[in-house]
Amino acid sequence: MWSGTWLDREGIAQRARQRLAALLRFARAHVPLYQRLHRGLPPASSLSLADLPVLHKSQLMADLPASLAASGLSRAAVDAFLSDPARIGAPLADHYAVWTSSGSTGVPGIFVHDGDALAVYDALELLRFRGLLDALPGAGPFLASERYAMVAAIEGHFAGIASVERLRRTFPLLAPWVRAFSVLQPLPDLVERLNSYRPTLLAAYPTVAELLADEQQAGRLRLSLEEMWCGGESLSATTRAQVAKVFGCRVREAYGASEFLSIAWPCRHDRLHVNADWVLLEGVDAHGRPVPPGVPSHTTLLTNLANRTQPLIRYDLGDSITVLPGQCPCGCAMPAIEVQGRCDDVLSVAGPHGAAVKLMPLALATVLEDDALVNDFQLLQTGQRRLVLRLGRAERARADAACAALRAYLQRLDLPWVGIAFDPAPPHREPASGKLRRVVNAVRAAATA
Ligand SMILES: [Zn+2]
């Protein structure tokens, strides 16, 4: 991996080709799903990626065991594991990591990774994202004086929290310096806990980082950060600049998924480089045709070259990316991308004593996904005391449960006067981009219009 980081374009492509051919041979020999999908196709050595069928989440989830190489794992064992919060970050059957994706596009996905894949993700994280190479030879202070905090949805087997918990289990001595904080707790509690923990590295969604920057600026939060890591949503230039200014620290973008933990890392020019020797990304348009550099894709097909247990080959990730044209000034030949992630709004509702209370979109989405099991939703703020919920057709039967889950959450935050109304209209997509924003501050939109 160390040598791979500085290969030229042809060298990277060659490594990827070799790994892809080996993966294809393996998947066709051992994974029923690919035996079915690739039936009748020519041998792996004479195929390019674009000749292969696209894999959708619905196909993967329709028969999970068929997507696994003979591992002896049953659907029942996986489901039992996922339903137990005490096992977040623990291995399944001593060997496997199982992560779920939040279901922003329909049903949640389940992804099983083997020990070899985890070793690749860990090495990518350490050598490229954390820049262990850059720090050498004076790598002494690396890790030694850092306190890491992640603020996230921690009540499920998501890749982020599961990786934090795996680190704590694997290296118990490190555990006091690695902690996760729930995004569902009231903001004052979160601020208090972060103040007493005093992290030096903090990972959060951009909208969470933005709220924490407000708290820091108001003097309630008092952190001395070396770096803020942002991922999971679009990181706008404004948010990046504001967070960097308020905390006086470097803001680094991260791009990973439950399908592949560390897809890209930011170089010293803050460009996201894809780990293209281990994960292949194809940006395609709505008809599945490749889009040229500089053009945002409709979706992205991911091929994971590190994981044999559940091979993902041309898997429809649902993200929109833009491959940046030209060479990055840092000299790395791995392709640089921009990710057009979720663009949700922070909501600002009436709090006690007239003060505004901000609601994080990640927390609202987590409540709806985990407590009410709805994924295809749109939540709009239409007034200081009023939220409106829309649900996709397939999930409309759960409207009462979804409204009840939101009311219970607002009750926990001491905001009983914020009303929830159900709007039978389906979620509205942005007319220009077709993108679904799930949490929308319609009050702010009306004010700026
Ligand atoms: Zn670069």
* HSE-up (13 A, CA, CB side) for residue 99: 25
Question: Residues with Cβ < 8 Å from 22, sequence gap 6 or more?
Answer: none
**Axis crossing angle, helix 187-197 with helix 206-217, rounded to the nearest 10:** 80
Q: What is the pLDDT of residue 159?
A: 92
CA of 199 from ligand 1 middle (Å) equals 27
Distance 248 CA to ligand 1 centre (A): 22
pTM of the model: 0.88
CB 368 within 8 A of CB 213: no
CA angle 67, 71, 75 (to 5 degrees): 60
Q: Where are the beta strands (DSSP E) in 249-346?
A: 250-253, 264-266, 272-274, 279-284, 299-304, 315-316, 320-323, 336-340
E-assigned strand segments in 310-438: 315-316, 320-323, 336-340, 347-350, 356-359, 377-383, 386-391, 419-423
Q: Give the pLDDT of the chain (449 residues) as one tens digit per residue.
A: 877 888 999 999 999 999 999 999 999 999 999 999 999 998 877 788 999 999 999 999 999 999 999 778 899 999 999 999 999 999 999 899 999 987 555 678 999 999 999 999 999 998 898 877 565 544 444 455 789 999 998 988 999 999 999 999 988 888 899 999 999 999 999 999 999 999 999 999 999 999 999 999 999 999 999 999 999 888 989 999 999 999 999 999 999 999 999 999 999 999 999 999 999 999 999 899 999 999 999 899 999 999 999 999 999 998 899 999 999 999 999 999 999 877 788 999 999 887 889 999 989 999 998 889 898 899 999 999 999 999 999 899 999 999 999 999 999 999 999 999 999 999 998 776 667 789 999 987 666 55
Instruction: Compute the distance from residue 286 Cα to the ligand 1 centre, in Å.
Output: 29
Residue 342 CA to ligand 1 center (angstroms) comes to 24
Q: 110: which 2 tokens? A: 């389940």
Question: Quick one: which H or E segment has residue 202?
Answer: strand 201-204
Helix spans in 338-441 (H): 361-366, 372, 399-412
Strands 250-253 and 227-230 come out as parallel
Whether the CB-CB separation of 438 and 392 falls below 8 Å is answered with no
d(CA 281, CA 303): 7
Alpha carbon of 67 to ligand 1 centroid (Å): 35
Given this model, what pLDDT does residue 185 score? Answer: 93
* Distance from residue 141's CA to the centre of ligand 1 (Å): 24
Task: Measure 327 CA to ligand 1 centroid, in angstroms.
Answer: 8
Identify the pLDDT of residue 447: 64
